[in-house]
Homo-oligomer: A and B are copies of this chain.
Amino acid sequence: MIEETSKQNIELRIQMASEAYQSLKKTTVKERAAFMNAVADRIEALGEELLTTAHTETSLPLARLTGEKARTAGQWRSYAKAVASGIYTESRIDLAQPEKQKSDIRKYNIGLGPVVVFGASNFPFAFSTAGGDTASAIGAGCPVIVKAHPAHPQTSQMMADVITDTVKEFGWPQGIFSHITGTSHEIGAFLTQHKDIHAVAFTGSFNGGKALFDAASRRENPIPVFAEMGSINPVFALQQLLENKAKALAKEYVTSLTLGVGQFCTNPGVFIARKGESLDTFISAVKNEIQEISPAPMLHKGIYESFKKHKSIAITQAGVEVIASTETEEGKGSAAVIKTNAQNFINNPVLSEEVFGPFGIIVTCENQGELIQISQKLKGQLTITLAATSDDIHENSELIDILKDKCGRLLFNGMPTGVEVVYGMQHGGPFPSTTDARFTSVGPDAVKRFVRPISFQNWPNEFLPEELKNENPLQINRMVDGEINSESLKLETV
Protein backbone atom coordinates (compact mmCIF):
# COMPACT_ATOMS: atom_id res chain seq x y z
CA MET A 1 0.00 0.00 0.00
CA ILE A 2 1.62 3.21 -1.17
CA GLU A 3 0.85 6.33 0.74
CA GLU A 4 -0.08 9.24 -1.51
CA THR A 5 1.79 12.35 -0.49
CA SER A 6 -0.82 15.10 -0.31
CA LYS A 7 -0.75 18.08 -2.66
CA GLN A 8 -0.40 20.30 0.36
CA ASN A 9 2.64 18.40 1.51
CA ILE A 10 4.13 18.45 -1.98
CA GLU A 11 3.64 22.23 -2.11
CA LEU A 12 5.40 22.49 1.23
CA ARG A 13 8.30 20.34 0.06
CA ILE A 14 8.70 22.43 -3.11
CA GLN A 15 8.75 25.58 -1.03
CA MET A 16 11.36 24.01 1.26
CA ALA A 17 13.39 23.00 -1.78
CA SER A 18 13.33 26.57 -3.10
CA GLU A 19 14.56 27.88 0.22
CA ALA A 20 17.20 25.16 0.48
CA TYR A 21 18.43 26.08 -2.99
CA GLN A 22 19.53 29.44 -1.64
CA SER A 23 21.81 27.61 0.80
CA LEU A 24 22.96 24.96 -1.60
CA LYS A 25 23.89 27.55 -4.18
CA LYS A 26 26.39 29.00 -1.73
CA THR A 27 28.11 25.71 -0.99
CA THR A 28 31.40 25.07 -2.71
CA VAL A 29 32.10 22.06 -4.86
CA LYS A 30 34.21 20.66 -2.02
CA GLU A 31 31.35 20.93 0.45
CA ARG A 32 28.93 19.20 -1.87
CA ALA A 33 31.49 16.48 -2.55
CA ALA A 34 31.89 15.87 1.20
CA PHE A 35 28.13 15.51 1.45
CA MET A 36 28.03 13.05 -1.41
CA ASN A 37 30.78 10.93 0.10
CA ALA A 38 28.86 10.88 3.37
CA VAL A 39 25.81 9.58 1.53
CA ALA A 40 28.00 6.87 -0.01
CA ASP A 41 29.26 5.91 3.46
CA ARG A 42 25.73 5.55 4.73
CA ILE A 43 24.62 3.50 1.75
CA GLU A 44 27.54 1.15 2.27
CA ALA A 45 26.67 0.90 5.96
CA LEU A 46 23.16 -0.33 5.19
CA GLY A 47 23.25 -4.01 5.88
CA GLU A 48 21.32 -7.13 4.97
CA GLU A 49 18.00 -5.45 5.61
CA LEU A 50 18.30 -3.26 2.53
CA LEU A 51 19.14 -6.23 0.34
CA THR A 52 16.39 -8.46 1.65
CA THR A 53 13.84 -5.65 1.43
CA ALA A 54 14.79 -4.88 -2.15
CA HIS A 55 14.82 -8.57 -3.00
CA THR A 56 11.31 -8.99 -1.63
CA GLU A 57 10.05 -5.93 -3.47
CA THR A 58 11.72 -6.47 -6.85
CA SER A 59 12.47 -10.20 -7.09
CA LEU A 60 15.99 -9.27 -8.13
CA PRO A 61 18.56 -11.80 -6.89
CA LEU A 62 20.63 -10.89 -3.84
CA ALA A 63 23.90 -11.14 -5.74
CA ARG A 64 22.70 -8.62 -8.30
CA LEU A 65 21.41 -6.32 -5.55
CA THR A 66 24.70 -6.57 -3.69
CA GLY A 67 26.49 -5.46 -6.83
CA GLU A 68 23.98 -2.69 -7.47
CA LYS A 69 24.35 -1.37 -3.95
CA ALA A 70 28.13 -1.13 -4.40
CA ARG A 71 27.60 0.54 -7.74
CA THR A 72 25.22 3.06 -6.22
CA ALA A 73 27.66 4.05 -3.47
CA GLY A 74 30.36 4.13 -6.13
CA GLN A 75 28.27 6.54 -8.19
CA TRP A 76 28.03 8.96 -5.28
CA ARG A 77 31.78 8.69 -4.71
CA SER A 78 32.86 9.06 -8.31
CA TYR A 79 30.48 11.95 -8.94
CA ALA A 80 31.72 13.53 -5.70
CA LYS A 81 35.30 13.28 -6.87
CA ALA A 82 34.41 14.84 -10.20
CA VAL A 83 32.39 17.62 -8.55
CA ALA A 84 35.23 18.35 -6.12
CA SER A 85 37.67 18.71 -9.00
CA GLY A 86 35.62 21.67 -10.16
CA ILE A 87 35.27 20.31 -13.69
CA TYR A 88 31.54 21.01 -13.80
CA THR A 89 31.93 24.59 -12.66
CA GLU A 90 33.71 25.22 -16.00
CA SER A 91 35.24 28.25 -14.32
CA ARG A 92 36.41 30.86 -16.79
CA ILE A 93 38.24 34.03 -15.87
CA ASP A 94 38.96 36.76 -18.38
CA LEU A 95 40.97 39.43 -16.67
CA ALA A 96 40.36 43.09 -17.24
CA GLN A 97 42.39 44.83 -19.90
CA PRO A 98 41.75 48.49 -19.14
CA GLU A 99 43.85 49.63 -22.08
CA LYS A 100 41.47 47.77 -24.38
CA GLN A 101 38.41 48.76 -22.32
CA LYS A 102 37.85 45.10 -21.49
CA SER A 103 36.13 44.19 -18.26
CA ASP A 104 36.99 41.50 -15.76
CA ILE A 105 34.51 38.73 -16.62
CA ARG A 106 34.28 35.50 -14.70
CA LYS A 107 31.85 32.67 -15.25
CA TYR A 108 31.05 29.46 -13.45
CA ASN A 109 28.17 27.02 -13.30
CA ILE A 110 25.55 26.98 -10.59
CA GLY A 111 22.68 24.58 -10.02
CA LEU A 112 19.48 25.24 -11.93
CA GLY A 113 17.23 25.10 -8.87
CA PRO A 114 14.99 22.37 -7.44
CA VAL A 115 15.00 19.23 -9.60
CA VAL A 116 12.38 16.47 -9.68
CA VAL A 117 13.71 12.94 -10.08
CA PHE A 118 11.47 10.06 -11.07
CA GLY A 119 12.86 6.79 -9.75
CA ALA A 120 12.96 3.78 -12.05
CA SER A 121 11.78 0.29 -11.19
CA ASN A 122 14.54 -1.76 -12.80
CA PHE A 123 17.42 -0.47 -10.68
CA PRO A 124 15.95 0.00 -7.19
CA PHE A 125 19.23 1.50 -5.95
CA ALA A 126 21.24 2.83 -8.90
CA PHE A 127 18.45 4.55 -10.86
CA SER A 128 16.02 5.21 -8.08
CA THR A 129 15.68 7.32 -4.93
CA ALA A 130 19.40 7.58 -4.20
CA GLY A 131 20.45 6.85 -7.75
CA GLY A 132 22.56 8.65 -10.29
CA ASP A 133 20.02 11.38 -11.04
CA THR A 134 19.77 12.38 -7.39
CA ALA A 135 23.54 12.25 -6.95
CA SER A 136 24.23 14.33 -10.03
CA ALA A 137 21.57 16.93 -9.21
CA ILE A 138 22.89 17.42 -5.69
CA GLY A 139 26.42 17.52 -7.08
CA ALA A 140 25.28 20.29 -9.39
CA GLY A 141 23.90 22.22 -6.43
CA CYS A 142 20.21 21.46 -6.88
CA PRO A 143 17.79 20.34 -4.17
CA VAL A 144 16.05 17.15 -5.23
CA ILE A 145 12.47 16.02 -4.92
CA VAL A 146 12.26 12.32 -5.65
CA LYS A 147 9.03 10.82 -6.83
CA ALA A 148 9.68 7.27 -5.63
CA HIS A 149 8.86 4.37 -7.90
CA PRO A 150 5.86 2.60 -6.36
CA ALA A 151 7.27 -0.85 -7.12
CA HIS A 152 9.76 -0.79 -4.23
CA PRO A 153 8.43 1.63 -1.60
CA GLN A 154 10.34 0.32 1.42
CA THR A 155 13.63 0.17 -0.44
CA SER A 156 13.06 3.74 -1.55
CA GLN A 157 12.25 4.82 1.97
CA MET A 158 15.46 3.29 3.31
CA MET A 159 17.47 5.11 0.68
CA ALA A 160 15.56 8.34 1.35
CA ASP A 161 16.40 8.00 5.03
CA VAL A 162 20.07 7.76 4.15
CA ILE A 163 19.98 11.10 2.38
CA THR A 164 17.76 12.75 4.99
CA ASP A 165 20.12 11.59 7.74
CA THR A 166 23.09 12.98 5.85
CA VAL A 167 21.31 16.31 5.47
CA LYS A 168 20.80 16.36 9.24
CA GLU A 169 24.40 15.33 9.90
CA PHE A 170 25.59 18.26 7.80
CA GLY A 171 23.13 20.68 9.36
CA TRP A 172 21.86 21.55 5.90
CA PRO A 173 18.27 22.70 5.31
CA GLN A 174 15.83 19.80 5.19
CA GLY A 175 14.45 20.95 1.85
CA ILE A 176 17.58 19.77 0.05
CA PHE A 177 15.97 16.38 -0.25
CA SER A 178 12.32 15.35 -0.33
CA HIS A 179 10.70 12.02 -0.94
CA ILE A 180 7.26 11.95 -2.51
CA THR A 181 5.26 8.77 -2.79
CA GLY A 182 2.16 7.84 -4.71
CA THR A 183 0.88 5.96 -7.70
CA SER A 184 -1.10 8.56 -9.62
CA HIS A 185 0.21 10.11 -12.83
CA GLU A 186 -1.16 13.41 -11.62
CA ILE A 187 1.69 13.81 -9.15
CA GLY A 188 4.21 13.68 -11.97
CA ALA A 189 2.36 16.28 -13.99
CA PHE A 190 1.86 18.48 -10.95
CA LEU A 191 5.56 18.40 -10.05
CA THR A 192 6.71 18.99 -13.61
CA GLN A 193 4.40 21.94 -14.11
CA HIS A 194 5.13 23.62 -10.80
CA LYS A 195 6.66 27.05 -11.29
CA ASP A 196 9.39 26.46 -8.72
CA ILE A 197 10.68 23.26 -10.31
CA HIS A 198 13.63 23.91 -12.62
CA ALA A 199 14.42 20.54 -14.22
CA VAL A 200 13.24 16.96 -14.40
CA ALA A 201 15.12 13.68 -14.64
CA PHE A 202 13.33 10.49 -15.55
CA THR A 203 14.17 6.90 -16.43
CA GLY A 204 11.38 4.69 -17.69
CA SER A 205 8.96 4.19 -20.52
CA PHE A 206 8.58 6.27 -23.65
CA ASN A 207 5.03 7.24 -22.76
CA GLY A 208 6.00 8.35 -19.28
CA GLY A 209 9.05 10.32 -20.36
CA LYS A 210 7.39 11.93 -23.33
CA ALA A 211 4.41 13.06 -21.23
CA LEU A 212 6.78 14.81 -18.81
CA PHE A 213 8.73 16.38 -21.67
CA ASP A 214 5.51 17.70 -23.18
CA ALA A 215 4.26 19.04 -19.86
CA ALA A 216 7.60 20.79 -19.27
CA SER A 217 7.76 22.28 -22.77
CA ARG A 218 4.24 23.66 -22.50
CA ARG A 219 4.83 25.46 -19.21
CA GLU A 220 4.75 29.23 -19.30
CA ASN A 221 8.49 29.00 -18.58
CA PRO A 222 9.69 25.74 -20.16
CA ILE A 223 12.22 23.69 -18.21
CA PRO A 224 14.66 21.00 -19.31
CA VAL A 225 13.63 17.36 -19.01
CA PHE A 226 16.15 14.60 -19.36
CA ALA A 227 14.09 11.47 -19.89
CA GLU A 228 15.87 8.23 -20.64
CA MET A 229 13.19 6.20 -22.35
CA GLY A 230 15.01 3.05 -23.39
CA SER A 231 15.56 1.57 -26.82
CA ILE A 232 15.84 -1.66 -28.74
CA ASN A 233 19.67 -1.58 -28.84
CA PRO A 234 20.25 -3.29 -32.17
CA VAL A 235 23.11 -5.70 -32.71
CA PHE A 236 24.42 -5.75 -36.27
CA ALA A 237 26.28 -8.99 -36.85
CA LEU A 238 28.63 -8.60 -39.79
CA GLN A 239 29.66 -11.36 -42.10
CA GLN A 240 33.16 -12.38 -41.11
CA LEU A 241 32.49 -12.32 -37.40
CA LEU A 242 29.32 -14.33 -37.87
CA GLU A 243 31.22 -16.91 -39.92
CA ASN A 244 33.95 -17.11 -37.31
CA LYS A 245 31.86 -17.54 -34.22
CA ALA A 246 28.15 -17.92 -34.79
CA LYS A 247 27.71 -20.29 -31.86
CA ALA A 248 29.69 -18.29 -29.35
CA LEU A 249 27.86 -15.15 -30.44
CA ALA A 250 24.51 -16.87 -29.89
CA LYS A 251 25.50 -17.71 -26.34
CA GLU A 252 26.68 -14.18 -25.70
CA TYR A 253 23.54 -12.71 -27.25
CA VAL A 254 21.10 -14.87 -25.33
CA THR A 255 22.94 -14.28 -22.07
CA SER A 256 22.68 -10.51 -22.56
CA LEU A 257 19.08 -10.69 -23.81
CA THR A 258 17.89 -12.62 -20.78
CA LEU A 259 20.14 -11.02 -18.16
CA GLY A 260 18.06 -9.78 -15.25
CA VAL A 261 14.97 -11.17 -17.03
CA GLY A 262 15.69 -8.76 -19.86
CA GLN A 263 14.87 -5.76 -17.73
CA PHE A 264 17.71 -3.45 -18.77
CA CYS A 265 17.44 -0.25 -20.79
CA THR A 266 20.30 -1.56 -22.91
CA ASN A 267 18.81 -4.99 -23.54
CA PRO A 268 19.77 -6.01 -27.12
CA GLY A 269 16.26 -6.53 -28.45
CA VAL A 270 17.10 -6.75 -32.15
CA PHE A 271 19.72 -8.82 -33.93
CA ILE A 272 20.35 -8.05 -37.60
CA ALA A 273 22.40 -10.14 -40.00
CA ARG A 274 22.58 -11.43 -43.53
CA LYS A 275 20.93 -14.70 -44.42
CA GLY A 276 23.12 -17.72 -44.88
CA GLU A 277 24.64 -20.74 -43.27
CA SER A 278 26.28 -18.78 -40.48
CA LEU A 279 23.05 -17.11 -39.52
CA ASP A 280 21.33 -20.50 -39.58
CA THR A 281 23.99 -21.80 -37.22
CA PHE A 282 23.47 -18.75 -35.02
CA ILE A 283 19.71 -19.29 -34.96
CA SER A 284 20.02 -22.98 -34.06
CA ALA A 285 22.38 -22.06 -31.28
CA VAL A 286 19.94 -19.39 -30.03
CA LYS A 287 17.22 -22.05 -29.85
CA ASN A 288 19.46 -24.23 -27.70
CA GLU A 289 20.60 -21.38 -25.51
CA ILE A 290 17.08 -20.15 -24.87
CA GLN A 291 16.09 -23.60 -23.63
CA GLU A 292 18.69 -23.20 -20.88
CA ILE A 293 17.02 -20.08 -19.55
CA SER A 294 14.53 -20.57 -16.73
CA PRO A 295 11.65 -18.14 -16.52
CA ALA A 296 12.13 -15.85 -13.56
CA PRO A 297 9.89 -13.41 -11.74
CA MET A 298 9.85 -9.91 -13.18
CA LEU A 299 10.17 -6.67 -11.23
CA HIS A 300 6.48 -6.18 -10.62
CA LYS A 301 3.12 -7.22 -11.89
CA GLY A 302 2.75 -4.23 -14.20
CA ILE A 303 5.98 -5.06 -16.01
CA TYR A 304 5.04 -8.71 -16.26
CA GLU A 305 1.63 -7.90 -17.74
CA SER A 306 3.14 -5.42 -20.14
CA PHE A 307 5.80 -7.93 -21.22
CA LYS A 308 3.21 -10.62 -21.81
CA LYS A 309 1.05 -8.25 -23.82
CA HIS A 310 3.79 -6.76 -25.98
CA LYS A 311 5.48 -10.09 -26.58
CA SER A 312 2.18 -11.51 -27.73
CA ILE A 313 1.56 -8.52 -30.02
CA ALA A 314 5.01 -8.94 -31.59
CA ILE A 315 4.67 -12.68 -32.02
CA THR A 316 1.34 -12.40 -33.76
CA GLN A 317 2.49 -9.94 -36.40
CA ALA A 318 2.44 -11.12 -39.98
CA GLY A 319 5.67 -12.56 -41.34
CA VAL A 320 7.00 -13.45 -37.92
CA GLU A 321 8.22 -16.87 -36.87
CA VAL A 322 8.90 -17.89 -33.27
CA ILE A 323 12.23 -19.60 -33.24
CA ALA A 324 12.65 -20.17 -29.55
CA SER A 325 10.66 -19.72 -26.42
CA THR A 326 10.75 -21.09 -22.92
CA GLU A 327 7.81 -22.59 -21.10
CA THR A 328 5.50 -19.90 -19.87
CA GLU A 329 4.82 -19.73 -16.20
CA GLU A 330 2.33 -17.31 -14.69
CA GLY A 331 4.04 -14.27 -13.23
CA LYS A 332 7.43 -15.08 -14.68
CA GLY A 333 9.19 -13.61 -17.67
CA SER A 334 9.66 -16.41 -20.15
CA ALA A 335 12.14 -15.63 -22.90
CA ALA A 336 11.34 -15.73 -26.57
CA VAL A 337 13.12 -14.95 -29.81
CA ILE A 338 11.34 -14.42 -33.08
CA LYS A 339 12.55 -14.08 -36.64
CA THR A 340 11.41 -11.86 -39.46
CA ASN A 341 12.83 -10.57 -42.71
CA ALA A 342 14.22 -7.12 -43.29
CA GLN A 343 11.34 -5.78 -45.36
CA ASN A 344 8.82 -6.93 -42.81
CA PHE A 345 10.86 -5.33 -40.03
CA ILE A 346 11.18 -2.07 -41.93
CA ASN A 347 7.53 -1.87 -42.93
CA ASN A 348 5.91 -2.89 -39.66
CA PRO A 349 6.67 -0.29 -36.99
CA VAL A 350 5.30 -2.57 -34.27
CA LEU A 351 8.44 -4.67 -34.60
CA SER A 352 10.67 -1.69 -33.74
CA GLU A 353 8.93 -1.08 -30.45
CA GLU A 354 10.71 -2.02 -27.27
CA VAL A 355 9.37 -5.14 -25.56
CA PHE A 356 10.72 -4.66 -22.05
CA GLY A 357 11.83 -8.12 -20.98
CA PRO A 358 13.69 -11.15 -22.37
CA PHE A 359 12.51 -10.86 -25.93
CA GLY A 360 14.51 -10.61 -29.14
CA ILE A 361 13.90 -10.28 -32.85
CA ILE A 362 16.32 -11.68 -35.39
CA VAL A 363 16.07 -9.76 -38.63
CA THR A 364 17.33 -11.59 -41.69
CA CYS A 365 18.65 -9.54 -44.57
CA GLU A 366 18.92 -10.65 -48.20
CA ASN A 367 21.90 -8.43 -48.85
CA GLN A 368 24.06 -5.60 -47.68
CA GLY A 369 21.55 -3.08 -49.02
CA GLU A 370 18.98 -4.24 -46.50
CA LEU A 371 21.37 -3.70 -43.60
CA ILE A 372 21.79 -0.13 -44.81
CA GLN A 373 18.03 0.27 -45.25
CA ILE A 374 17.42 -0.90 -41.70
CA SER A 375 20.08 1.38 -40.29
CA GLN A 376 18.54 4.34 -42.10
CA LYS A 377 15.11 3.57 -40.68
CA LEU A 378 16.32 3.11 -37.11
CA LYS A 379 15.15 5.55 -34.50
CA GLY A 380 17.56 6.93 -31.90
CA GLN A 381 19.07 4.30 -29.62
CA LEU A 382 21.03 4.24 -26.39
CA THR A 383 23.41 1.71 -27.90
CA ILE A 384 24.21 -0.04 -31.13
CA THR A 385 26.52 -3.02 -31.20
CA LEU A 386 28.64 -4.21 -34.07
CA ALA A 387 29.46 -7.89 -33.86
CA ALA A 388 32.33 -7.60 -36.27
CA THR A 389 35.95 -8.21 -37.12
CA SER A 390 38.24 -5.37 -38.13
CA ASP A 391 37.81 -6.45 -41.73
CA ASP A 392 34.06 -6.20 -41.32
CA ILE A 393 34.44 -2.63 -40.10
CA HIS A 394 36.63 -1.79 -43.08
CA GLU A 395 34.02 -3.16 -45.44
CA ASN A 396 31.02 -1.51 -43.80
CA SER A 397 32.03 2.11 -43.45
CA GLU A 398 28.78 3.43 -44.93
CA LEU A 399 26.76 1.39 -42.44
CA ILE A 400 28.87 2.56 -39.53
CA ASP A 401 28.61 6.20 -40.57
CA ILE A 402 24.83 5.89 -40.42
CA LEU A 403 24.83 4.04 -37.10
CA LYS A 404 26.91 6.79 -35.47
CA ASP A 405 23.98 9.13 -36.05
CA LYS A 406 21.57 6.78 -34.36
CA CYS A 407 23.06 6.07 -30.95
CA GLY A 408 24.85 7.32 -27.88
CA ARG A 409 27.20 4.36 -27.50
CA LEU A 410 28.64 2.23 -30.24
CA LEU A 411 30.12 -1.13 -29.25
CA PHE A 412 32.66 -3.19 -31.10
CA ASN A 413 31.65 -6.66 -29.97
CA GLY A 414 30.61 -7.47 -26.46
CA MET A 415 27.01 -6.78 -25.49
CA PRO A 416 25.40 -3.48 -24.46
CA THR A 417 24.08 -4.59 -21.07
CA GLY A 418 26.41 -3.45 -18.31
CA VAL A 419 26.60 0.35 -18.29
CA GLU A 420 29.91 1.27 -16.70
CA VAL A 421 29.97 4.32 -14.46
CA VAL A 422 32.92 6.15 -15.98
CA TYR A 423 33.63 9.52 -17.56
CA GLY A 424 33.65 7.93 -21.00
CA MET A 425 30.13 6.55 -20.68
CA GLN A 426 27.35 8.02 -22.77
CA HIS A 427 24.05 6.72 -21.45
CA GLY A 428 21.83 8.77 -23.65
CA GLY A 429 21.18 9.03 -27.33
CA PRO A 430 19.06 10.62 -30.04
CA PHE A 431 15.31 10.81 -29.57
CA PRO A 432 13.35 8.70 -28.70
CA SER A 433 15.99 6.95 -26.58
CA THR A 434 16.20 10.20 -24.60
CA THR A 435 14.68 13.67 -24.86
CA ASP A 436 18.07 15.38 -25.25
CA ALA A 437 21.01 13.62 -26.92
CA ARG A 438 23.41 16.24 -25.53
CA PHE A 439 23.41 14.72 -22.07
CA THR A 440 24.04 11.46 -20.26
CA SER A 441 22.42 10.00 -17.16
CA VAL A 442 25.32 7.71 -16.27
CA GLY A 443 28.85 8.76 -15.41
CA PRO A 444 29.94 11.95 -13.68
CA ASP A 445 29.03 13.99 -16.77
CA ALA A 446 25.40 13.45 -15.71
CA VAL A 447 25.95 16.51 -13.50
CA LYS A 448 26.00 18.75 -16.58
CA ARG A 449 22.25 18.38 -17.05
CA PHE A 450 21.55 20.47 -13.98
CA VAL A 451 23.89 23.46 -14.17
CA ARG A 452 23.81 26.79 -15.90
CA PRO A 453 26.51 29.43 -16.26
CA ILE A 454 26.43 32.81 -14.58
CA SER A 455 28.92 35.56 -15.40
CA PHE A 456 30.16 38.18 -12.98
CA GLN A 457 31.40 41.35 -14.63
CA ASN A 458 33.83 43.56 -12.69
CA TRP A 459 32.66 41.94 -9.49
CA PRO A 460 34.74 42.66 -6.37
CA ASN A 461 36.86 39.69 -5.40
CA GLU A 462 35.41 39.44 -1.91
CA PHE A 463 31.89 38.87 -3.25
CA LEU A 464 32.80 36.33 -5.89
CA PRO A 465 32.07 32.65 -5.23
CA GLU A 466 35.09 30.74 -3.95
CA GLU A 467 35.42 29.03 -7.33
CA LEU A 468 36.20 32.36 -9.01
CA LYS A 469 38.18 34.24 -6.38
CA ASN A 470 41.68 35.44 -7.22
CA GLU A 471 43.22 33.21 -4.56
CA ASN A 472 41.58 30.09 -6.02
CA PRO A 473 41.03 28.81 -2.50
CA LEU A 474 39.55 25.53 -3.79
CA GLN A 475 42.57 24.94 -6.03
CA ILE A 476 40.40 23.85 -8.91
CA ASN A 477 41.32 24.00 -12.57
CA ARG A 478 40.11 27.20 -14.20
CA MET A 479 40.51 28.72 -17.59
CA VAL A 480 42.29 32.02 -17.11
CA ASP A 481 42.62 34.15 -20.24
CA GLY A 482 42.16 31.01 -22.30
CA GLU A 483 44.69 28.81 -20.48
CA ILE A 484 43.69 26.11 -18.01
CA ASN A 485 45.52 26.09 -14.69
CA SER A 486 44.89 25.82 -10.97
CA GLU A 487 46.98 28.82 -10.00
CA SER A 488 45.98 31.66 -7.76
CA LEU A 489 45.91 35.06 -9.39
CA LYS A 490 48.26 37.73 -8.14
CA LEU A 491 46.49 40.91 -9.12
CA GLU A 492 47.63 44.32 -8.06
CA THR A 493 44.14 45.62 -7.55
CA VAL A 494 40.90 43.86 -6.88
Contacts and interface: CB of A to CB of B under 8 A. Distances in A.
Interface of A: 22, 25, 81-82, 90, 92-94, 102-103, 105-107, 110, 112-113, 213-214, 217-218, 221-222, 224, 379-380, 390, 393, 400-401, 404-405, 407-414, 420, 422-426, 428, 430-432, 435-438, 440, 445, 451-460, 462-463, 477, 479, 482, 484
Contacts of A458: 411-414
20 contacts: A81-B482, A90-B445, A92-B445, A94-B422, A105-B422, A107-B423, A107-B426, A214-B217, A221-B432, A408-B454, A408-B455, A410-B457, A411-B457, A413-B458, A424-B455, A425-B455, A426-B453, A428-B452, A445-B453, A484-B484
Q: How many identical subunits does the complex contain?
A: 2
Nearest to A223: B431
Nearest to A407: B454
Query: Which 5 interchain pairs have the tightest Cβ spacing?
Result: A105-B424, A217-B217, A426-B455, A94-B424, A94-B422
Contact of A437 (B102, B217, B435, B452): B452
A420 B484 contact: no
A370 to B, nearest CB: 20
A460 B390 contact: yes
B22 A401 contact: yes
B414 A457 contact: yes
A409 B454 contact: yes
Contacts of A221: 379-380, 430-432
A405 B428 CA distance: 28
Given A410-B454, A454-B408, A462-B390, A92 B222 contact: no
A354 to B, nearest CB: 16
Nearest to A199: B438
Given A222-B213, A222-B431, A411-B458, A452 B424 contact: no
A404 B25 contact: yes
Nearest to A90: B445
A105 B464 CA distance: 37
B436 A224 contact: yes
Given A94-B420, A222-B217, A460-B393, A454 B426 contact: yes
B453 A408 contact: yes
A410 B456 contact: yes
Contact of A459 (B412, B422, B451, B459): B412
A455 B409 contact: yes
A237 to B, nearest CB: 16
Nearest to A386: B459
Nearest to A434: B452
Contacts of A482: 81-82, 423
